[in-house]
Structure 1
Amino acid sequence: MRSTGGGRPVRPGPCARATPPPPATLRGDVPSSAAERSADVLVVGAGPAGATAARHLAAAGVDVLVLEKTSFPREKVCGDGLTPRAVRELLALGLDLSPEAGWVRNKGLRIIGGGMRVELPWPELASFPDHGLVRTRLDMDHLLVEHARAAGARVQERTSVTGAVVDEATGRVVGVRAHPVDERGRRAGEDVEHRARVVLAADGVSARLALSVGLARREDRPMGVAVRTYYRSPRHDDDWMESWLELWDGEPGRSRLLPGYGWVFGVGDGTSNVGLGVLNSSSAYGKVDYRDLLRRWTATMPADWQFDEEHREGPVRGAALPMGFNRTPHHHAGMLLLGDAGGMVNPFNGEGIAYAMESARIAADVAVQALGRPDAASRLRALDAYPAAVRSAWGGYFTLGAVFVKMIGHPAVMEAATRHGLPRPVVMRLVVKLLANLTDPRGGDALDRVVNGLQRLAPAA
């Protein structure tokens, strides 16, 4: 077995076989000339948002430079589960998503709660595929970066971006300041400036680039926290994504029911990704030991699943979930916010990858159009199409999500929804469409029309 930087062994299996080789370029090298440090588009962060944007831009013939503070492959806190919405974006990149290429396919969502167990296949739609996928972020992020490189994107790893470079005369963001770091993230050189006509901030929940120009997190939008780990388990080849709706901050019946859910996703390599997410609509938010909560929750599961300390692989890791557009505006003076940097996690289900990749595709298209404009002023006008596009796509939906987060912050609402909703198949099919944001925008069935109607009625976030 080989060990990752996060301490989790990777066994031979579909994911391990498909991991791309390390890039040939040197990591952390500072380009020697101003030309090497400039590009048409500068992308900060090489996660799903940044790598996806870079791939689309490079495929369109744009000179794109990506700056990433870590080196690949690297761990990332995530459930590793991809809904059909994310699968659509992976297909748009032209990736081979076959099992032979290392992807584990799933049929739908298994929901457990209120003493019930319900399996709901992903809906059959014209707009989305009818299956989800599972793949570790260790593998997937590396694959996406190499896919961007193959299209011609320049990716500079081990480069820590500290802030935006703003033109004093115009107030426009014209680049970033950055310095090289070593394999442990420590400074390994002096600051240099990288310049571009368009800057895409895809630096994740830290949003360091946005903060450097004064774009603070909005306190009126939902926030979550998630923790996860891996266990060697016979459930590793489960072809359903499993969601547990009841998380208690103590013994059931003698404690609070928390707004959130737990998950079990089979990775297909001998391990299962097991984790939980909790929302900030509960008074318990920030006061619960989430790692201990994960331990106590998994202790209630059958012993033969092996979700115990003896079979745990690597540490329990946690991360924040910035939801519902909790950082705006998404265009600021020539800089666009993508994915987690723009608070684009779905409040209904904590999904971030699909929205990161969708925002990247939209941003790349807008950037290509902006680069075709003759001057800086007209480029800025063109870039204004980006916040309008993401607001049109998800604004009403995220508003509904914020209402949902507040509602389930009340334990009585959560208990009633679990008790009365799960036994009703029609209700649960509606719930899956709503929670995963999976409907056909035109046509579709009656449930699609209900969900689409609700989104149109809700004021855009």
Structure 2
Amino acid sequence: MAAVEHDADVIVVGAGPGGSTTAYHLARHGVRVLLLEKTEFPREKVCGDGLTPRAVKQLVKLGVDTSTEAGWLRNRGLRVIGGGIRLELDWPDLASFPNYGLVRTRLDFDDLLAKRAVEAGATLRTGVTVTGPVLDETGRSVGVTAEVGPDKTPATFHAPLVVAADGVSGRLPLALGLTKRDDRPMGVAVRRYYRSAVKHQDDYLESWLELRSREHPDKLLPGYGWIFGMGDGRVNVGLGALNSSPSFGKTNYRRLLTDWLGNTPEDWGLADEANADGPILGAALPMGFNRVPHYTRGVLLVGDSGGMVNPFNGEGIAYAMESGELAAEVAVQALARPAGAERERALAAYPTELKVRYGGYYRLGNVFVKLIGNPQVMRLATRHGMPHPTLMRFVLKLMANLTDPRGGDAMDRVINALAKAAPAV
């Protein structure tokens, strides 16, 4: 193949939280970054809009102002409802993470992160749909092919490294032959905004472990639910289900959402269709490293593209941002080496470090998903766990992956030991 002029040192495909974080950290290190996004900002995404302290830490690293004056709604922790019990659990006080979470719509959240990447020096191009890799004679990626603008004008962009942060669809990884693994968990979520004068201001993210309908209050509906106040007169309401559930793929989740909301208190306004703000939207949640390898032939996978959603709680933004930061660190070191064996040795550190950080924890999460997919197990766990606040604080730390890696309390040490002892996925 003839030598070509590189359009960038690294091409990042997708300007979601993972892609923009990758581009930001690369640009901060002086790397020429081309960030390609298929849509225009601001743009809607299906998400619960709730951010745990793990995600907040990443925002702070990007220099984002997370104050209420900057439009963020802070929360103190998680309110868990199930087994006839309502329990408020504060985020833990840790050295490693802040003790507050945030809520903000994805409509401007992603836009804000993309702007931070541009401010750091990245070049953002929107309206560019990446269709596949450009491969050299050895089969290594040296760029991407794309369709630009409403006319879908064909284009080619070249760079020695490519980061795939194109979400659950993973068009670029699929073009490289990287398909989803069926032995890893997959979830589905639907959500909708509602106007609610009662629930829109809330100090806690609210999680419902049991869903019941108004018509059949004695029958448990499949899945779990959430209600997150947005602070602007609206709430984000949604539910999720896992592929370990017998009803997965056989349920109309949009109907299920309205069925559950019909059983919520009337003054919340969630059972009234007149209070709905927009349609019910759905999305898949790729969990537990369900697409690997995370590095191959010049392409690194970040966030949902690499199936990095936490199996315990469905959180994806924090892991997209964390993997983006790691991908940037590895890419910077790799680009400082000559192309060939030395550079590949540096790039191999990316999947290795991902396994060290998350492999054992995700293994535990995969087991957890299989267990709670059984309605009887879930019912027993809710009935016997919810009455014990200390146990539930442990569960919160485990499910949100919030521990201090060194030191910490007894709960931290137990969780860290479990994750270390579990074989990496």
Task: Give the structure-1-normalised TM-score.
Answer: 0.89
CA-based RMSD of the aligned residues comes to 1.5
Greater alpha carbon shift after TM alignment, 244-253 vs 310-319: 244-253
1:163 Cα offset (Å): 0.6
Query: Could you tell me which of 98, 123, 127 is aligned with 2:96?
Result: 127
- Paired with 1:232 and 1:335, the residues of 2 have a C-alpha distance of 43
- Count of paired positions: 421
In structure 2, C-alpha distance between the alignment counterparts of 1:411 and 1:72, rounded to whole Å: 41
Deviations 1:337-386 (A, max 9, x none): 00000000000000000000000000000000001002233222111111
Give distance in 2, aligned partners of 1:257 and 1:429: 26
1:381 aligns with 2:345: yes
Q: For 2:190, give the aligned amino acid.
A: V
Q: Does 1:179 align with 2:147?
A: yes
Q: Offset at 1:178?
A: 0.2
Q: How does 1:274-423 map to 2 (within 5 A)?
A: 274-307=237-270, 308-423=272-387
Matched, 1:211 2:174: yes
Q: 1:265/1:35 Cα in 2 relative to 1: closer, same or farther (>3 Å)?
A: farther
**Partner residue in 2 for 1:15:** none
Find the aligned partners of 1:76 and 1:99 in 2 and give their Cα distance.
22
Stretches (4+) displaced over 4 A: 34-37, 248-257
> For the residues of structure 2 that align with 1:257 and 1:457, how far apart are their CA atoms?
35
Deviation, 1:199, is 0.4
Task: State how far apart, in whole Å, the 1-side matches of 2:292 and 2:216 are.
Answer: 39
Matched residues in 1 for 2:6 and 2:149: separation? 16
| 2:40 equivalent to 1:71 | yes
Return the alpha-carbon distance in structure 2 between the equivalents of residues 370 and 141 of structure 1.
28
SS of match in other structure, 1:356: helix
Which structure 2 residue ranges, 5 or more long, are not aligned?
none
Q: 1:239 aligns with which of 175, 191, 203?
A: 203
CA deviations 1:371-402 (Å, max 9, x no partner) are: 10022332221111110111111100100000
Q: Distance in 2 between matches of 1:98 and 1:284?
A: 41
Aligned pairs for 1:158-197 (under 5 A) are: 158-168=127-137, 170-182=138-150, 188-197=151-160
> In 1, distance between residues paired with 2:350 and 2:120?
23
1:35 Cα deviation after fit = 8.6
The answer to whether the 8 A contact 2:6-2:160 is kept is no
Summarize the Cα distance change of 1:227–1:328 in structure 2 as closer, same or farther, 3 Å threshold: same
Structure 1 residues without counterparts, runs of 5 or longer = 1-33, 183-187
Percentage identity across paired residues of the two chains: 63
Separation in structure 2 between the aligned mates of residue 36 and residue 313 of structure 1, nearest angstrom: 48
1:18-37 alignment, distance < 5 Å:
none
Distance in 2, matches of 1:395 and 1:248, equals 35
Equivalent residue, structure 1, for 2:161: 198
- Residues 247-281 of structure 1 show CA distances to partners (whole Å, capped at 9, x for unaligned) of 358965764552x3100111111100000110000
Q: Is the 8 A contact 1:249 1:288 kept in 2?
A: no
Q: 1:459 is aligned with what amino acid?
A: P
Instruction: Select the residue among 121, 143, 153 that pairs with 1:152.
Output: 121
Asked if 1:54 corresponds to 2:23, the answer is yes
- Counterpart position of 1:13: none
CA change 1:283–1:171 in 2 (3 A) is same
**Alpha-carbon separation, structure 2, partners of 1:133 and 1:36:** 43
